[in-house]
C-alpha cells in the first residue's frame, strides 16, 4: 500500500463531507466561518496528499453518513468506540451506523509563542481518555444536535422544544413529521452555534452511554484490515534498521561498514549520534542505521557491521549488584516523602510489630508490535506515520532536534499493537526522522524483537521495606513504606534528586490518613538501565507490596485479611488525593469492591487440600479494583490458576464491554508479569532479548474463568486501562500462601514453589 491508503476512508469521507450540503463540527465552540475554513482546509489537504492534518470531529453528509473522529490513539483500550459514544449520546445518533476514524495530530499556535490543541487534547496514557473527554466530546455532540434541531424547527415550522432526537432522526410527534440528520445537514451548516452551550443530557436519559457496544474496529482487526504502524508505507520509501549501542550510556568508538555495504540491497550506512541532554528530553541510543531496499537486506547489512563500542559508565552493573545496592541503601536514612505523627515513638511503644522486605525486578513492555515509524523529512516539512500514544511527542521532539517549525511537522497516528506506556517515548520516531533527514528520502524504520526488548524503558526495579506497629487491642498505630529504586525519570537533567520519588511513591495512597503515624521514605538508586512509564507504573509495584504486607499482618495476627482491610478503611468519606487520579480517594468505594469481589469469589470459604484463595485491592488513577484469585499447587510445586474474580468501580460506565475487556487484559498482563517476567542485566547491558527468555504467559496457562463485576454508581467516570493490573499479583501470591504456607516476597514467582 502507499501512504494514501493509510487514510483512504477518512479522506474520502472528508472530501464528500466538505461538499455542499454537509455539516462539519470541528470543535465544541466552532462558528460557521470556522467550519467553512475547516472544510476548505480539509479539501486542500486531501488534494495535496497524506497526511491530512485537519479533520472534523463530527461530519454528517446528505446521504446520512455520520463520521465521528476519536482524538486519542487506539491501542486496544477501545477509544475508537467509547469516545464516539460520548459524542453520539448527545448528538442523538444511531450508533450502530456511526463510522469512526482516528484524528491526526491537530495543533495550533497559542498566541504566546507556544502551541495548543486545535480541537481537544490528544493522547493515550494515564487512563485519561474517558476522564479527559467526558465533558468536551459530549458538548460537541450537543452543539451539533442543537444545530440540527434548529434547522428542523425552521424547516417544519414548529417550535424547537417540541422536537425530539433519536437514532439520527429529528421528530415532531404532534404532526407525525420527521427528518433525518442527512436531510438537515445542509441547513444546519448555515447556522451559528449558540453563544451559550446547550445543556447536556441528565444521566437518566442516556441511551448509548452505559450500554454494551461491540468495538467499532473488531471486524477490521480479525480480517486483517486494521492498519498498524508496521503496515504503513509512503511512496518511494526505503527501509532501515539500527545497530544501537548495547551498553547503558555507551557510545561508538569506530565502525567497519564495508561488509554491510556489500550486502545486496543495502543503500547506505549512517551514523546516528545520541542528541545531548535537554528538554524535551532525548532518550535514544547512539548507533548506526543501515538503509536498504527492503527490511531483510537492512537486517543482513546490520549483522555485517563491525562496531567497536565503548562500554560506558555502567559497565559493571548487573541485576544482582543492583539489588545489593538497593538493599544497602535501605540501611541508611532516606528522603522523607510523607511523615504523619511520630512513627519512631509508635514503633518503640508498640505491643507488637511486623516487618518485611519485597523485591521487584526490571520488566519490559514487550508489545506484540515492535517499535516502528515511517518518516519523510522534506525541506518544507516533516511527515510522520506510526504507532504512538501521544502524537504531540514526536512533533515536539523532532522540532527540538531538527530545529523545525512544529506546525510543519505532520503526525498521523496509526493503531498501536500494544502501548503499555512504551510508546509515550518518541525515540523511534526521532530515529526515523534523523535517518530520513540524512538520506533525504522517506524511511520506514523497524525495530526487531531484540531491539525492542533490549532498548526498552523498563519499569523501575526496587526493594521495599515495610513496617507496621500495633497496640494491645490490635489496632494499627504506625505504618512505614521505604523504597530504594532507580526512578523512572531517566535522562532528565532538570529533575532534582529530591523529586525523583514523585514517580515511585504516592503520598496519599492507602493507608494514608487511615493510620495515625504514617511515614514514607525514598532512596534514589543509581542505575544505567533505561526506565520509563509502564502500565499503571509504580502502582503495580506498590499494590503488590502493600497488599502482601496486609495479608502477612492478618495471617500473623490470626485475623481475616478482608476484615482487616475493612477495619482500616472505616466509613465512606472523601480523603484528599493530590496524586494522579484525584482529587479525592473514598475508602468506602475501595471497601465496596472488596466486599463485592469477596462475595462473588467466595472469599473466606473453605478450600480443598492444595488449593488457596487470596484477595487484594487497589485504587489506581481514579478507579477501584479488587481481585479474588483461586489457585492450586501440587506436591511438585506446579501452579495452576483456577479462577479470578474482579470487582470494578470506575464511576459512570460508558461501555461495559470495554471495561470487561480492559479488566481481563490487565488480569492477564498482571498474572504473566508475576509468574515469570524479569529483565536480566549483565555487564552494563540487557541480555534478555526475546520471548524464549522473557516468557510471557501462554494461552494454555491462562485461567479459564475470569469474572468482571462492575459497580455503576453514577460517580464521575475514571479510566480503566490500568486498573485491572495492580491488585492481581498480590491476590495471586496471597492465594499461594493460603494453599502452601509459602510467602512470596520476590517477583517473579518463577520456580520459588519448587524449592
Give the other-Cβ count within 10 Å of 356's Cβ.
16
Give the pLDDT confidence score for residue 284 in this predicted structure: 80
Query: Is residue 226 a part of any domain in this protein?
Result: no
Hey, what's the cell of 508? 496519599
The reply to whether 389 and 523 lie within a common domain is no
Q: Does residue 239 form part of some domain?
A: yes
399 and 513 assigned to the same domain: no
So what's the pLDDT on residue 56? 67
Calpha distance 18→672 (Å, rounded) = 48
- pLDDT tens figures, 549-601: 999 999 999 999 999 999 999 999 999 999 999 999 999 999 999 999 999 99
- Kind of pairing, strands 584-585 and 575-576? antiparallel
The answer to whether position 451 is within a domain reads no
Strands 66-70 and 99-102: parallel
Is residue 499's pLDDT more than 80?
Answer: yes
Distance between terminal CA atoms of the chain? Answer: 54
> Are 300 and 154 contained in the same domain?
no
DSSP assignment string, 230-273: GG---TT-EEEEEEE--BTT-EEEEEE-HHHHTSTTEEEEEEEP
Q: Is it the case that residue 278 has pLDDT exceeding 70? A: no
How are beta strands 251-256 and 517-524 bridged, if at all? Answer: unpaired
**pLDDT digits 0-9 by tens, 294-338:** 999 999 999 999 999 999 999 999 999 999 999 999 999 999 999
Q: Domain total for the chain?
A: 3
Q: Kindly state whether residues 43 and 121 are assigned to the same domain.
A: yes
Asked if residue 215 belongs to a domain, the reply is: no
* Residue 381 shares a structural domain with residue 401: yes
CATH code of the domain covering residue 43: 3.30.365.10
- pLDDT tens-digit map of 72-104: 999 999 999 999 999 999 999 999 999 999 999
- Of the residues 446, 471, 495, which one is the last residue of a structural domain? 446
Choose the final residue of a domain: 419, 446, 473: 446
User: 600 and 499 share a domain?
Assistant: yes
Tell me if 81 is assigned to some domain. yes
Answer yes or no: is 646 within a domain. yes
Residue 588 CA to residue 604 CA, distance in Å, equals 21
* Residues 279 and 143 reside in one and the same domain: no
Residues 193-221 have a mean pLDDT of: 95
Domain limit, last residue, from 192, 207, 222 = 207
Residues 6+ apart with CB under 8 A from 429: 373, 375, 384, 386, 388, 393, 394, 397, 398
Residues 75 and 198 in one domain: yes
pLDDT in tens, 28-59: 544 444 444 444 433 333 333 332 223 468 99
The C-alpha cell at 114 is 507556544
In a domain, 599, yes or no: yes
| Confidence (pLDDT) at 280 | 58
Cβ distance 57 to 91 under 8 Å? no
Whether residue 333 sits in one domain with residue 265: no
Indicate the DSSP class of residue 490. T
The alpha carbon of 33 is separated from its chain's Cα centroid by a whole number of angstroms, namely 37
- Global pTM? 0.93
Q: Is 288 helix (H, G, I), strand (E, B) or coil?
A: strand
- CA–CA separation, 256 and 254 (whole Å): 7
Average model confidence (pLDDT) across the chain: 92
Say what the alpha-carbon torsion angle 654, 655, 661, 663 is, to the nearest 10 degrees: 30
Looking at the fold, whether 307 and 328 belong to one and the same domain comes out as no
pLDDT at 45: 32
The contacts of residue 258 (CB under 8 Å, 6+ apart) are none
| 306, 324: one domain | no
Full domain range(s) for residue 708:
319-363+457-754
Task: Establish if 397 belongs to a structural domain.
Answer: yes
* Mean pLDDT, residues 153-167: 98
Across 506-524, average pLDDT: 98
- What are φ and ψ of residue 140, in 5° steps? -60, -45
Nearest to 544 by CA among 364, 747, 708, 324: 747
Are 113 and 196 in a shared domain?
yes
**Residue 24: what pLDDT?**
73
Q: Are 104 and 98 in contact (CB under 8 A)?
A: no
Amino acid at each position: 500500500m502507499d501512504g494514501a491508503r493509510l487514510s483512504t476512508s477518512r479522506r474520502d469521507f472528508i472530501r464528500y463531507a466538505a461538499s455542499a450540503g454537509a455539516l462539519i463540527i470541528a470543535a465544541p465552540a466552532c462558528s460557521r466561518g470556522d467550519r467553512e475554513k475547516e472544510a476548505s482546509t480539509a479539501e486542500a489537504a486531501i488534494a495535496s496528499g497524506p497526511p491530512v492534518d485537519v479533520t472534523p470531529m463530527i461530519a454528517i453528509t446528505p446521504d446520512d453518513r455520520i463520521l465521528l473522529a476519536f482524538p486519542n490513539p487506539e491501542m486496544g483500550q477501545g477509544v475508537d468506540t467509547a469516545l464516539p459514544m460520548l459524542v453520539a449520546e448527545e448528538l442523538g445518533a444511531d450508533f450502530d451506523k456511526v463510522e469512526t476514524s482516528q484524528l491526526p495530530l491537530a495543533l495550533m499556535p497559542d498566541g504566546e509563542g507556544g502551541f495548543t490543541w486545535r480541537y481537544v487534547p490528544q493522547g493515550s496514557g494515564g487512563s485519561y481518555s474517558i476522564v479527559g473527554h467526558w465533558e468536551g466530546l459530549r458538548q460537541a455532540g450537543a452543539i451539533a444536535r442543537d444545530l440540527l434541531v434548529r434547522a428542523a424547527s425552521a424547516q417544519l415550522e414548529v417550535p424547537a422544544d417540541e422536537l425530539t432526537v433519536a437514532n439520527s432522526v429529528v421528530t415532531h410527534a404532534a404532526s407525525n413529521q420527521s427528518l433525518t440528520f442527512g436531510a438537515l445537514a445542509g441547513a444546519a451548516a448555515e447556522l451559528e452555534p449558540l453563544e451559550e452551550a446547550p445543556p447536556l443530557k441528565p444521566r437518566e436519559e442516556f441511551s448509548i452511554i452505559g450500554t454494551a457496544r461491540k468495538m467499532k474496529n473488531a471486524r477490521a482487526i480479525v480480517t486483517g484490515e486494521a492498519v498498524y504502524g508496521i503496515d504503513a508505507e509512503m511512496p518511494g520509501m526505503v527501509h532501515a534498521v539500527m545497530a544501537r549501542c548495547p551498553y547503558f550510556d555507551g557510545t561508538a568508538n569506530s565502525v567497519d561498514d564495508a561488509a554491510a555495504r556489500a550486502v545486496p540491497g543495502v543503500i547506505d550506512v549512517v551514523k546516528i549520534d545520541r542528541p545531548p541532554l535537554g528538554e524535551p528530553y532525548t532518550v535514544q541510543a547512539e548507533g548506526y542505521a543501515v538503509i536498504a531496499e527492503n527490511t531483510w537486506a537492512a537486517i543482513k547489512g546490520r549483522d555485517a557491521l563491525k562496531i567497536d563500542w565503548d562500554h560506558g559508565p555502567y559497565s559493571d552493573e548487573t541485576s544482582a549488584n543492583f539489588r545489593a545496592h538497593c538493599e544497602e541503601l535501605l540501611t541508611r536514612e532516606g528522603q522523607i516523602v510523607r511523615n504523619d505523627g511520630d512513627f519512631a515513638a509508635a514503633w518503640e511503644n508498640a505491643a507488637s510489630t511486623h516487618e518485611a522486605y519485597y523485591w521487584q525486578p526490571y520488566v519490559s513492555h514487550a508489545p506484540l508490535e515492535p517499535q516502528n515509524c515511517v518518516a519523510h523529512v522534506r525541506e518544507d516539512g516533516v511527515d510522520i506515520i506510526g504507532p504512538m500514544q501521544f502524537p504531540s511527542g514526536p512533533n515536539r521532539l523532532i522540532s527540538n532536534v531538527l530545529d523545525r517549525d512544529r506546525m510543519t511537522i505532520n503526525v498521523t497516528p496509526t493503531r498501536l499493537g500494544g502501548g503499555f506506556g512504551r510508546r509515550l517515548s518518541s525515540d523511534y520516531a526521532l530515529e526515523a526522522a534523523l535517518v530520513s533527514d540524512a538520506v533525504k528520502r522517506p524511511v520506514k524504520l523497524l525495530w526487531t524483537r531484540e531491539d525492542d526488548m533490549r532498548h526498552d524503558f523498563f519499569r523501575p526495579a526496587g526493594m521495599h521495606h515495610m513496617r507496621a506497629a500495633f497496640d494491645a487491642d490490635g489496632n494499627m498505630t504506625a505504618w512505614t513504606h521505604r523504597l530504594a529504586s532507580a526512578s523512572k525519570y531517566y535522562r532528565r537533567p532538570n529533575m532534582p534528586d529530591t523529586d525523583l520519588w514523585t514517580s515511585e511513591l504516592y503520598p496519599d495512597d492507602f493507608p494514608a490518613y487511615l493510620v495515625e503515624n504514617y511515614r514514607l521514605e525514598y532512596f534514589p538508586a543509581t542505575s544505567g538501565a533505561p526506565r520509563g512509564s509502564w502500565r499503571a507504573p509504580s502502582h503495580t509495584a506498590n499494590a503488590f507490596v502493600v497488599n502482601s504486607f496486609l495479608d502477612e499482618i492478618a495471617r500473623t495476627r490470626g485475623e481475616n485479611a478482608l476484615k482487616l482491610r475493612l477495619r482500616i478503611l472505616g466509613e465512606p468519606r472523601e480523603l484528599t488525593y493530590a496524586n494522579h487520579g484525584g482529587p479525592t480517594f473514598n475508602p468506602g468505594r475501595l471497601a465496596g469492591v472488596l466486599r463485592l469481589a469477596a462475595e462473588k469469589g467466595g472469599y473466606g470459604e473453605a478450600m480443598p487440600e492444595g488449593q488457596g484463595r487470596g484477595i487484594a485491592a487497589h485504587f489506581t488513577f481514579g478507579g477501584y479494583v479488587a481481585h479474588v484469585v483461586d489457585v492450586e499447587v501440587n506436591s511438585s510445586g506446579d501452579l495452576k490458576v483456577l479462577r479470578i474474580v474482579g470487582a470494578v468501580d470506575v464511576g459512570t460506565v460508558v461501555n461495559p464491554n470495554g471495561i470487561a475487556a480492559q479488566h481481563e487484559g490487565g488480569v492477564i498482563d498482571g498474572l504473566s508479569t508475576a509468574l515469570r517476567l524479569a529483565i536480566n542485566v549483565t555487564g552494563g547491558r540487557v541480555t534478555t532479548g526475546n520471548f524464549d527468555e522473557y516468557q510471557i504467559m501462554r494461552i494454555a496457562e491462562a485461567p479459564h474463568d475470569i469474572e468482571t463485576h462492575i459497580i455503576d454508581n453514577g460517580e464521575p467516570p475514571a479510566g480503566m486501562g490500568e486498573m485491572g493490573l495492580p491488585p492481581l499479583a498480590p491476590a495471586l501470591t496471597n492465594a499461594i500462601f493460603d494453599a502452601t504456607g509459602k510467602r512470596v516476597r520476590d517477583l517473579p514467582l518463577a520456580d520459588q514453589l519448587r524449592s
